[in-house]
Structure 1
Amino acid sequence: MRNLFLGTAIFSASLALASCTGSQSGDTANATSAAVSDSMMAGEAVALQGNSPFAASSHATLDRPWALAFEPETGRIFITEKGGNLRYYQPADGTTGAVSGGLPEVVDEKQGGLGDMAFGPDYAESGTIYLTWAQDAGNNMTVAALGRGKLDCAAPSNCRITGFSEIWRQSRPAESKGHYSHKIAFSPDGQYLFLSSGDRQEQDPAQNLSNNLGTIVRLNLDGTAAAGNPFADRGSPTDQIWSYGHRNILGIAFAPDGHLWEIEHGPAGGDELNKVTRGANYGWPLRSNGNNYDGSNIADHSADDGFARPAIGWTPVIAPADMIFYTGNMFSDWRGHLLIANLRTTSISRITVNSAANSADEAARYEFPNRLRDIAQAPDGAIWVIEDGVGGRLLRLSPAS
C-alpha cells in the first residue's frame, strides 16, 4: 500500500513550504519551496548532511504535520496536521489510515491549527486520547484549547474519535494567531497533565496571574485544576498555574529522574531551556537573553533578579519545535540525553542535562535538509521526526552503519 497522505490535488512541481515560526526568532520562516513527489515509497533513503550519526528513511509525506505520537501496544504513529486532520502510519507493514470523525473544528491560520496529540496514561484500559487546537472565540479572536475522547479503530483502515469534548481552554482570547504553545506532558505517575499555554504574542499577560497565558498549567486528567498547585487558593484560572513568565513553549518533557523541563522561543535571540519548578517565574517579558524585534533592549537574566534562569540559551536562535528525553537502546550512549528538533537551524540538538545543578550543555548538533517540527522515540529505540510544512516527510532515524 502506498504510504502517502497528501491528496493528489496538491502535488505539483513545487509547493510553498508553509511554516509557523519571524525571521529572527524562527516563529515565522521565509517562504521556501520544496519539490513533493507522489512516487515516494516507504523506506526511501534520505541523504543527510555532514558526518551524521543517523541513517534516515522517508515513510510518508504530509500536509503541514505538527505532532506525532506512538500508540501504545500497536506501535502505530499518529500524526496531527495543522489543517485539522489526524493520520496514522504503521511502521510494521507500511499501512496508513485516517481519523475520519470526532475531531475538533480548528482555526487554521498562521500558527493556529490542530496541535498536539497524546495517548492518556490509562489508554490501554480507557482508549482516551488528548488533542490541542486553536479554537474560534468569536470576533476574530482565538484561544488554545484541550480536549479528550475515545479512539475507536474498529475499521481496518479508518478510525474515529467518540465522545470528544473540550476540557480546558486559555482564560482569555487574543487577536494574535500565534504563540499557542499547547504542548502536553503527563507526570511519571500518570496522575497529572501538564500543558504549556503561550503568551499569544501579548507579552504582559505572562506576568499577570489573573490569567493562564504565558504559563505551564498542572491539571487533573479531566482538565480541572490539580490540588497542590502553588496558587490554588486564588481561584480559577490562577489555581491551574504551575509556573509562569513563559513566552512560547513548544517542548515539554519529564526527564528520567522525574524533573520536568521545557524549551521555549525567545524573541530576537534568547531561546531557552528551563527546568520547571513549582511556582517559579521565568521572567518573560521582563527578562530575556534576546531583544525585542525592533531592536530595543530587554534586560538579560541575572543571578540576582529574582527570576528563574535558563539552564542553557541560544543566540542566534535554534527555534526549537519539540523535544524528548531519549531512553532507548538503539542509541545507547544517549540514554538520558535531551534531543531537540529545530526549525530555524534544520537540525537535532543533543543536550546533556543536570537537574540537580540546573545546568545543560549542547553536546552535538546534527544537520537535516529541512526544518523539523516534531520528534518521538519508537518502541524499538529508533527516532522518528516530521519535517515542517506542506510535503513534510515522516523520517525514521537509526544508527548509521
Structure 2
Amino acid sequence: MRILGLFLILVVAAGAARAEILASDTGPIRVETMIAGLDTPWAIAFLPGGGYLVTERDGRLLHVRDGRAHPVQGVPRVAAVGQGGLLDVMVPRDFATSRAVFLTYSRTEPGGGAGTAVAVGKLAPDGTILRDVRTIFTAAPGSRGGRHFGSRIVEAADGTLFVTLGERGDRPSAQDRGNHNGSIVRINRDGSVPADNPFVGRPGVQPEIWSYGHRNPQGAVVDGQGRLWVVEHGARGGDEVNRIRRGANYGWPVIAHGRHYSGEKIGEGTAKPGMEQPVFYWAPSIAPSDVMIYSGWLWPEWRGDFLVGSLKFDMISRLAGNPLREVERISGASTGRVRDVAEAPDGSIWVVSEGQGAIYRLTPAH
C-alpha cells in the first residue's frame, strides 16, 4: 500500500494540473495542483534553489523536486496517535550552508504516553536522507491522551527557535509552569536554554517557557519586526490570534472567548488582570491551522495581511487592518481542511489540504 501511495503521488505530480479559479475581493485566483495522493499532509517547507519538503502525519517526510516526490530516510520514529505524529518541518535561513532541517513530532515516552518533541538533522545533497538526526527537546511530561500536541516551529530573528505546545487536553496544566503543556517554548538550535528566557533560574518553572496559558496553538509566524504571532484553537468559540510577549500569560483555561463543548462557561469569564487578550478571535470557531503574513509580492493589496487556514470551514481566512479583523474568506475545492498555508519564494501562496490529500499553488488569475 505504501508503494502504491508513492506511485500515485508521482503520477499526479507529473500530470496536468487541475484547473480551478477561486473568487476573492481583489480578483480571481488561479489554483494549480502541485502534488496529490498524500496521506494526511501536515506541513510544507521550501528549500533554497527549488524543491520543498512535506510531512505526512503517520511519519513520512517527502522531498519534492521537479514534480517528483521521494521519501526521506532517517526521520525519527513517531507516535502516530490521535492528533499526534510527524507534524511541522522548518528549514532555517542558513540551510544552504548548514543543511539543517527541524521537525516537530509526537514521541513515545519511556513511561508510556507521548510528548511533543523537536528533532534536527542534515539533509543530504540529493535529498534522500536526514543524517546525524538527534532530538533536541521533548515536552515534559508526556501524556497518554491523543489531543493538543501543537505544534509549529519557527525561527526567531536572532536564530533561536519558538515551538508551540498544546495542553494535551489537561486544561489546568496550561497555568502550571512546572510543565511545558500549553506553552510556547524558546530554545537554541542545539536544544539548550537561551540565557535571556523569562523564567531562567525561577525555582519550579521550566526554563524553556517563553509564554503560557495556551490551549492548542497550531499556527505561528514571525513578522518583519521580529514579533511572534500565534494562532490557537479555542473550544466552542474563541479561536485566537495572539501577539506573543515575553513571559506573558494568555489565560487558558481561566479566561476565554468561548464555551466548553458542553455549553458550560469556561473559567472566570473573558478577562482578568495579568492575562493577555487576543488581538482577534473567532466565534464560532473555525479550527485554525497555520498562519502566514503575506509579503505583497503578487497581491500588493494583501501586503501585511494574515492568512489563516481553517480545518472546520474549508477556507482561508484573510485578516487585515488595525485593529485586526477578518476581511475575507477564500474557499473552493482546494481549501478542504487547510492544514498549512505558506508563501513560496516567488510570492505564490501554497495550501496544504489535509482534506484533499494534496498541495496547491495559488497565483492571481489575471
Q: 1:113 is aligned with what amino acid?
A: G
Partner residue, 1:114 = 86
Structure 1 residue runs without a partner (length 5+): 13-35
- Are residues 53 and 7 of structure 1, via their aligned partners in 2, closer, same or farther at CA, if it must alter by over 3 Å? farther
Partner residue, 1:347 = 315
Q: 2:238 is aligned with what amino acid?
A: G
Whole-angstrom CA distance in 2 between matches of 1:237 and 1:159? 40
Query: 1:124, CA displacement in angstroms?
Result: 1.4
Query: 1:140, CA displacement in angstroms?
Result: 4.2
Query: 1:204, CA displacement in angstroms?
Result: 0.8
Count of aligned pairs between the two proteins: 360
**Which of 24, 44, 50 is the equivalent residue of 1:68?**
44
Cα distance per residue 1:308-351 (max 9 Å; x no partner): 00011111111111011111411122111111111111111111
**Which of 215, 238, 241 is the equivalent residue of 2:183?**
215
Query: 1:279, CA displacement in angstroms?
Result: 0.8
Partner residue, 1:365 = 329
Does the CA contact (< 8 Å) of 1:212 and 1:237 recur in 2?
A: no
1:264 maps to 2:232: yes
Partner residue, 2:75 = 103
Question: Aligned residues: percent identity?
Answer: 36
Partner residue, 1:16 = none
Whole-angstrom CA distance in 2 between matches of 1:300 and 1:264? 18
Whole-angstrom CA distance in 1 between matches of 2:308 and 2:31? 17
- Are residues 39 and 147 of structure 1, via their aligned partners in 2, closer, same or farther at CA, if it must alter by over 3 Å? closer
Cα distance per residue 1:149-201 (max 9 Å; x no partner): 100033xxx51000000000101011111111021111123x21011111001
Structure 2 residue runs without a partner (length 5+): none
- Are residues 324 and 39 of structure 1, via their aligned partners in 2, closer, same or farther at CA, if it must alter by over 3 Å? closer
TM-score of the pair, normalised by structure 1 = 0.84
Partner residue, 1:198 = 166
Does the CA contact (< 8 Å) of 1:205 and 1:211 recur in 2?
A: yes
Partner residue, 2:20 = 46
Output aligned runs, 1:83-162, within 5 Å.
83-90=58-65, 93-99=66-72, 101-138=73-110, 140-154=112-126, 159-162=128-131
Whole-angstrom CA distance in 1 between matches of 2:191 and 2:71? 26
Cα distance per residue 1:117-136 (max 9 Å; x no partner): 01123211111110011111
Whole-angstrom CA distance in 1 between matches of 2:112 and 2:23? 43
Whole-angstrom CA distance in 1 between matches of 2:207 and 2:332? 42
Partner residue, 1:295 = 263
Partner residue, 2:347 = 381
Q: 2:342 is aligned with what amino acid?
A: A
Higher relative contact order (Cα pairs below 8 Å, separated by 6+ residues) = 1
Whole-angstrom CA distance in 2 between matches of 1:236 and 1:385? 41
1:306 maps to 2:279: no
Whole-angstrom CA distance in 2 between matches of 1:256 and 1:174? 36
Q: 1:175 is aligned with what amino acid?
A: R
TM-score of the pair, normalised by structure 2 = 0.92
Q: Secondary structure at the match of 1:180?
A: coil
Query: 1:250, CA displacement in angstroms?
Result: 0.5
Q: 1:159 is aligned with what amino acid?
A: T
Q: Secondary structure at the match of 2:224?
A: coil
- Quick check: which one's strand share is greater? 1
